[in-house]
Amino acid sequence: MKRRSKARKKKKFIARYVVFCLLLVIVGFFSGKYLLTKFYSPSSQEETVLAGNSSSDEKDSSNDDSKSNSTDKDSKSSNEEANNNIKNGDKSPLNQNNQQEIDPISDSKKVKDMLKSGVYTSKEKKIAYLTFDDGPSVTVTPKILDILNQNKIHGTFFIVGSELDKSDKAKDLLKRIVNDGNTLANHTYSHNYKTLYPGGHVNAAAFMDEVERTNKLITDVVGEKYKPRVVRFPGGHASWKGTEEVDRLLDEKGYVYIDWNALVGDAEGKHRNKEELIQRFNQTKTENAKNGDLVVLMHDTYGKESTAEALPQLINELRNEGYEFHTLM
């Protein structure tokens, strides 16, 4: 009897043990599944990775911005780095990190025809081309570039070749202009009316020589990739007589000249403060461009600090009026 009683107890113990183990397995299975779903789902991992990339991009952008705005004591090292960036097609942090869409580059021939026709109203959208003549200058051009970067837009810089011969700092600014995503255009070498337009008539040979000389200086600094195609006559194409020959030569070599239909008046003789520049801009925008597409003439040469001061307000006004900002190439 005792043996049978012990056998029964043993069987009950084993049965209870088996049931207990099964319960543990079942509880463990469902608990593990719940934890796996909550903490290790693919969506949560993906969100973590994307957030990490975004944070990294912001750090890269701020680091690159600080580099571009600081003065490098070793100018040789700085020039080599900028040259490598240009050769490798490197863009500014603004473009690298997709902080904005790259500004559209418009067909310059269409813009030229628009200016000649006097019809500035686009069917789809209003476009503004911010253009800066007579630079680069070490005093004003950096301020203009900073403002364009802050507003995540680009401009077109009409370069005077003789400015590049004056200093290495001017060449460094040329590199920054393209690295920041802006476009380069040609504004002759000397900007000298007597040489280019003796007696008010265009000297075609002298004009073309200065265009080619300036383009050679530009490409020596930033490479053939950034060779300007757009040319602006000092004083404007419409100001001079006898343009037929130079027009033909420009066309043969693939150049397009561009004038303007709005300006801030920063080269009209008297000095204007930023309020007066904005007033002059709004006047020409309404009278000349009839509030349609705009090619805005400004200057980034020495003594034009008020142009840089007026630029943020000008950009804000155009944005509020529904303008997009394009560049010329």
pLDDT in tens, 66-123: 333 333 333 344 344 444 444 433 433 333 333 233 345 567 888 888 888 877 776 6
Beta strand spans in 197-255 (E): 230-231
The pLDDT tens digits for 207-238 are 999 999 999 999 999 999 999 999 999 999 99
Query: pTM (2 decimals)?
Result: 0.70
Q: Are 178 and 226 in contact (CB under 8 A)?
A: yes
| Positive or negative torsion for Cα 55, 60, 62, 63 | positive
The pLDDT tens digits for 114-156 are 888 877 776 678 999 999 999 999 999 999 999 999 999 999 9
What residue segments make up the domains of the chain, in order of their start?
125-328
* Paired tokens of 137: 């200058």
- Is CATH 3.20.20.370 what the domain over 125-328 is classified as, yes or no? yes
Checking if the pLDDT of 293 tops 70, the result is yes
